[in-house]
A = this chain, B = another copy of it.
Amino acid sequence: METPWQYRFSTRAQAMKSSVIRELLKLTEQPDIISFAGGLPAPEVFPFEAFQRASKKVLTEYGPQALQYGTTEGYAPLRQFIADQMTRPGFEVSASNVLITSGSQQALDLLGIVFINQGDHVLVESPTYLGALQAWNLYGANYVTVKTDHDGMDTADLEAQLRTGPKFIYILPNFQNPMGVTMSLERREQLVQLADKYGIPIVEDDPYMQLRFEGEHLPAVAVIDNKMRGETHCNQSNVIYLSTFSKTLAPGLRIAWVVAPEEVIHKMVTAKQAIDLHTSTFNQYIAYEVARDGFLEEHIKTIIEIYRERRDVMLESFDEYMPAEVSWTKPSGGLFLWVTMPETMDSVAIFEDAVKEKVAFVPGQSFHADGSGKNTFRMNFSNSSPEMIVEGVRRLSIVIRKHLKK
């Protein structure tokens, strides 16, 4: 008997393409390549000793509970810890406003399940995080886009797009993936006002906030929203806030969270029960033990030192090696910077040549819901040593110069 599985796949599955970018990135897995492609933290900064202590403590003191099934909502002390961290004057968060997810990617999936009907559209930045597009494509989302520049989403562009009635607005306000830019306070306020005017909810995806290298933290969009509308508790918020331990502790734990009004949390819990029952109890206990008592704040200072140096080295190398036709963002935090070349340039063609020279990045087109961005690409600076960064940017500049001459 033949087993013609493909004819049995759902319409949704038949439409799923193995992403072009994923295929490209397989080329970067050679051991001798200098890869600026992944969004990987530096493994040198993982707090191994703190994880050793936490694993031992969790297994000794809480073994029976930590290895057992847990509640879908998440480990209660961890939910309370996150609620406390998130609470600000004018934005009170209770543990019941927090849902622990299996990585932020699952939070994006839950948003798809809970909000997106086939054909609904979501308002996203251009460019935006490609994992969000992948998550929502599963549910048949369409997109309307608003241009993002050095000050984040361009709110001058926003109102016209809001009148199309999107299901929600998706933004990454701090050190945005892929551009590394941060939304200015003025634009955050405009965003909140316009979202309120049209009654459209905001999803604020904020994995990098704590990785600020210089300058002052800006208030979260969720906090600005409550303040502007005279509310004091997260339950009255118009914003669903996402964050994660992946960039501050370790991505291998897959511990992230959603902060939202209870009404939204309840619905997401029902959905999560159906999709993975609950997030690893063991990892929630460990993350809580590592993060508590001020360790997280101290540890983040170490990460910032290292990432700041790498960002500086990358910016200096760009200044030194890149031709005048190329421009790039100057991030004050996070993991990425964003490169724009003349409009005739093709970052996929450059990628292919760059891989031959043993250097890699992510071509920019996949971050654009509207298929634009051919002449752009994303560079990660967190996961390569300063020496590798200098050498990698040098090699890359040679490839780009060749393409400029074509």
Contact = CB atoms under 8 A, between A and B. Distances in A.
Given A9-B114, A109-B276, A138-B275, A250 B67 contact: yes
A11 interface: yes
A282 interface: yes
Given A55-B56, A263-B5, A10 B63 contact: no
A22 interface: yes
- Looking at chain A's contact residues, is the secondary structure mostly helix, strand, loop, or mixed? helix
Nearest to A116: B10
A300 interface: no
A90 interface: no
Total copies of this chain within the assembly: 2
B274 A138 contact: yes
A297 to B, nearest CB: 19
A1 B261 CA distance: 14
A228 B103 CA distance: 42
Nearest to A255: B280
A46 interface: yes
B22 A41 contact: no
Contacts of A96: none
Interface residues of A, number: 86
A148 interface: no
A280 B252 contact: yes
A111 to B, nearest CB: 10
Nearest to A250: B67
B276 A276 contact: yes
17 contacts: A1-B229, A3-B201, A3-B236, A5-B261, A5-B264, A10-B120, A13-B113, A16-B267, A43-B64, A52-B55, A52-B59, A68-B251, A102-B276, A105-B274, A105-B276, A251-B281, A254-B278
Given A48-B59, A55-B55, A253-B282, 16 more contacts: A1-B199, A8-B167, A9-B115, A10-B139, A18-B270, A46-B63, A55-B59, A66-B252, A67-B252, A67-B253, A68-B251, A103-B276, A105-B276, A135-B274, A138-B275, A276-B276
Interface of A: 1, 3, 5-6, 8-13, 16-19, 22, 38, 40-41, 43-44, 46, 48, 51-52, 55-56, 59-60, 63-70, 102-103, 105-106, 109, 113-117, 120, 131, 134-135, 137-139, 167-168, 196, 199, 201, 229, 236-238, 246, 250-254, 261, 263-264, 266-267, 270-271, 273-283
